[in-house]
Amino acid sequence: MMPKHILVIDDDADICEVAKVSLESQPEMAVTVAGSGREGLAIAALKQPDAILLDMMLPDMSGIMVFQMLRADPKTQRIPIVFLTAKVKPDDRRWFGEVGAEFIAKPFKPQQLAGQLLAALNWQNS
């Protein structure tokens, strides 16, 4: 079985490294990281990952802008996106629901990240 390719877009190198190690502890996952929105958009269009784990607050553009640009591009519009964010107030949760996006709250427990991502993407049995 081919591993699921996950693109992690986060400007915090430590979070990228922890997410990569955590997710790749599962044999069914392979991870690519991007440190900015622009880099993430380029990688997503080129590699077409199976899913994207996207930070809400990036230095060059907001996670919402990255999300909207991914959805506007025919090459990336169908890629499932899960936000990785500390922004989990009721308004944020409402927005996630409105756009049909899942989220994983920061800080996350590294040993639980893969399971949380699988659950958010409904991939437990795939």
70 pLDDT exceeds 70?
A: yes
Of 3, 30, 28, the closest CA to residue 19 belongs to 30
- DSSP run (H or E) holding 25: none
Mean pLDDT for 96-105 is 86
pLDDT digits (tens, 9 = 90+) for 40-50: 999 999 999 99
Identify the residue with better confidence: 88 or 75. Answer: 75
126 pLDDT exceeds 60?
A: no
Predicted confidence at residue 125, as pLDDT, reads 55
What architecture (CATH level 2) is domain 4-121? 3-Layer(aba) Sandwich (3.40)
Predicted confidence at residue 16, as pLDDT, reads 96
pLDDT digits (tens, 9 = 90+) for 19-39: 999 999 988 899 999 999 999
Mean pLDDT for 74-103 is 87
CB of 56 closer than 8 Å to CB of 32: no
